[in-house]
Structure 1
Amino acid sequence: MAAVSLWLVVLGSIGALYVVANCFRVLRYLSLCLRQPKDLRRRYGSWAVITGPTSGLGRSMAVELARAGLNLVLVGRDRAKLQDVSEKIARCHGVQTKAVVFDLSLVSTPEGDEAMRRLRDAVEGLDVGVLVNNAGVAKPGALYLHEAEVGSLMRIVRVNLQALTEVTAAVLPGMVERGRGAVVNIGSGSAVAMPSFPLYSVYAATKRYVAAFSKSLYVEYKSNGIDVQCQAPFLVETNMVSSAVKSSFYAQFVVTPDACARAAVRWIGHGRLCVPSLAHQVQWWFAGLVPGVIHDAYRLAKNLQQREMFRVLRSARAPKSHPQADEDDKVVVYNKQ
């Protein structure tokens, strides 16, 4: 009887410590919301590089960084969309912009090597203080591994893992030379808060790489004045997330890109791992309360529902190919008049 009582005391103590730790996390988040955000331009430098800036969270983060006074190097695959975003940001926020056409799914190919050279040329001599590795691929999703095309799976790996690594390696040397900078890698709540994410195994695995990569770089470069951070949002209303997926979540937990970007920019430089949105923080807290085996069963059931919805959608429409970038005029500079 005494042994049982002892175990109850131990388990109760562990539970209490867990609740206290999560309360401190919430308090830390609230304290950040109340404090003044960092002056990113003064702290890190006058330019920011951001990948995937033409839609969704990337576009919203580009606008927020411009609002903070940073000039932008925008890296994406669609030249027309890059030009449109560049001109609008330059006109509305009075900053300089450069657009570098780079299909990140071609990384480690001759075309990708040439695009990487153009990116290095574009940032040469610039005071690049912030790098945001935002570009990411989640599709195909809600599939067993044997059901997906290997080429599509490897595209996830190239964009989410290889391209992120190569772009970081291209920008970091300048930060080291100047002794300051911030690298923000966009991860995923599916990788840092959940024990598994079945039917999205390759996507979740690449995002776990992003988290581990960021943690190690944080330790490596902190003494050089460089802050490396993995930001792990949960569900954001972007093109990566289908209406079928969004409909399976409570609306208050699906954050708009603008709201997520505002929180994300405030978090830059505050820790090596963060979940910027308060709504996503709540999800993270609740996810930690659920035993892994229960979570695995629930997540598999939900993602199997998505698999069936996607099967119906795929049968109703033909796959669309993504536009290819033009070979000319790969780097364009825009300045507000």
Structure 2
Amino acid sequence: MNLQDFFLAVTITLGFIKICKYLFNFLNWIWIVFLRPTKQLKKYGSWAIITGSTDGIGKAMAFEFASKGLNILLVGRNPLKLETTSKEIIDKHGGNVKVKCVVIDMQDISGKEIMKRVEEAIDGLDVGILVNGAGVAYPYARYFHEVDLDLMDSIIKVNVEGTTWVTKAVIPSMIKKKKGAIINIGSGSTVVLPSYPLVTLYAASKA
């Protein structure tokens, strides 16, 4: 085999491996989305705690879990939104679920205080699922060096530290009963491009 044939064989082999990888990922996606049996969420515990639960994905997951018969602990910084979301869930699902609310502004209190408030809120509850859905994003695209210090501080406190401290508060009970599920809501900005230069800090915090 001459050198040209060797490089051609290597190129074909690498291309075949790459195609197989994409095919495997596609088939895995088909399995997860369409074919995988539905999980019985209540086997983890009777309560789900959701941060960022009054808007977007967090709110949608609160309604979805409630539809499965899980009791919901809503965590957010706006008391009015928490009350509204709680009422909406109860109105839709009647007496099938219980809903509790805890007000926590992760931008304004320490990590230890976040942990303390969550521990107090879940005391006596059989928490089986934690959804870390709270997040702070840029109000508009900008380069990293243009991000003001207050926004930078808020993104790190909520997206990184808040997620860490809430998980720290919830996970001991899951370990004790040897079951539980933790869902961290990320962002497509971490995978759409190898680098996301106009939302660098947000993408890094939601990777």
Normalised by the size of structure 2, how large is the TM-score? Answer: 0.91
Alpha-carbon shift at residue 52 of structure 1 (Å): 0.4
Query: Match of 1:100?
Result: 102
Tell me the secondary structure at the aligned position of residue 38 of structure 2: coil
Matched-pair contact (CA < 8 Å) for 2:115–2:168: no
Tell me the secondary structure at the aligned position of residue 69 of structure 1: coil
Query: Match of 1:181?
Result: 180
Alpha-carbon shift at residue 114 of structure 1 (Å): 4.1
Alpha-carbon shift at residue 35 of structure 1 (Å): 3.3
Q: Distance in 1 between matches of 2:84 and 2:191?
A: 34
Query: Match of 1:91?
Result: 91
Matched-pair contact (CA < 8 Å) for 1:73–1:100: yes
C-alpha spacing 1:8/1:190, structure 2 compared with 1 (3 Å): farther
Q: Distance in 2 between matches of 1:191 and 1:115?
A: 26
Query: Match of 2:46?
Result: 46
Matched-pair contact (CA < 8 Å) for 1:107–1:158: no
Tell me the secondary structure at the aligned position of residue 104 of structure 1: coil
Matched-pair contact (CA < 8 Å) for 1:140–1:152: no
Query: Match of 1:34?
Result: 35
C-alpha spacing 1:137/1:27, structure 2 compared with 1 (3 Å): same
Q: For 1:60-109, what per-residue CA distance to the aligned partner results, in whole angstroms no more than 9, with x for missing partners?
A: 1111111111111110011011011112112322211110011122242x
Tell me the secondary structure at the aligned position of residue 54 of structure 2: coil
Tell me the secondary structure at the aligned position of residue 5 of structure 2: helix
Matched-pair contact (CA < 8 Å) for 1:101–1:115: no
Alpha-carbon shift at residue 193 of structure 1 (Å): 5.1
Q: Distance in 1 between matches of 2:39 and 2:3?
A: 52
Query: Match of 2:171?
Result: 172
Query: Match of 2:151?
Result: 152
Query: Match of 2:125?
Result: 126
Q: For 1:253-278, what per-residue CA distance to the aligned partner results, in whole angstroms no more than 9, with x for missing partners?
A: xxxxxxxxxxxxxxxxxxxxxxxxxx
Matched-pair contact (CA < 8 Å) for 1:49–1:128: yes
Q: Distance in 2 between matches of 1:104 and 1:5?
A: 61
Q: Distance in 2 between matches of 1:21 and 1:91?
A: 46
- Any stretches of 5+ residues in structure 1 without a counterpart? 209-337
Alpha-carbon shift at residue 121 of structure 1 (Å): 0.8
Matched-pair contact (CA < 8 Å) for 1:74–1:97: yes
Normalised by the size of structure 1, how large is the TM-score? Answer: 0.57
Matched-pair contact (CA < 8 Å) for 2:112–2:165: no
Q: Distance in 2 between matches of 1:147 and 1:183?
A: 34
Query: Match of 1:161?
Result: 160
Alpha-carbon shift at residue 34 of structure 1 (Å): 2.3
Query: Match of 2:77?
Result: 77
Q: Distance in 2 between matches of 1:58 and 1:46?
A: 18
Matched ranges for 1:63-74 at <5 A: 63-74=63-74
Q: Distance in 2 between matches of 1:207 and 1:10?
A: 37
Tell me the secondary structure at the aligned position of residue 206 of structure 2: helix
State the AA in 2 paired with 1:53. Answer: S
Q: Distance in 1 between matches of 2:105 and 2:99?
A: 19
Query: Match of 1:23?
Result: 23
Alpha-carbon shift at residue 207 of structure 1 (Å): 1.9
Matched-pair contact (CA < 8 Å) for 2:48–2:73: yes
Alpha-carbon shift at residue 29 of structure 1 (Å): 1.9
Alpha-carbon shift at residue 115 of structure 1 (Å): 4.8
Q: Distance in 2 between matches of 1:30 and 1:56?
A: 25
**1:59 and 2:59 matched:** yes
Query: Match of 2:205?
Result: 206
Tell me the secondary structure at the aligned position of residue 53 of structure 1: coil
Matched-pair contact (CA < 8 Å) for 1:140–1:148: no
Q: Distance in 2 between matches of 1:168 and 1:115?
A: 10
State the AA in 1 paired with 2:142. Answer: L
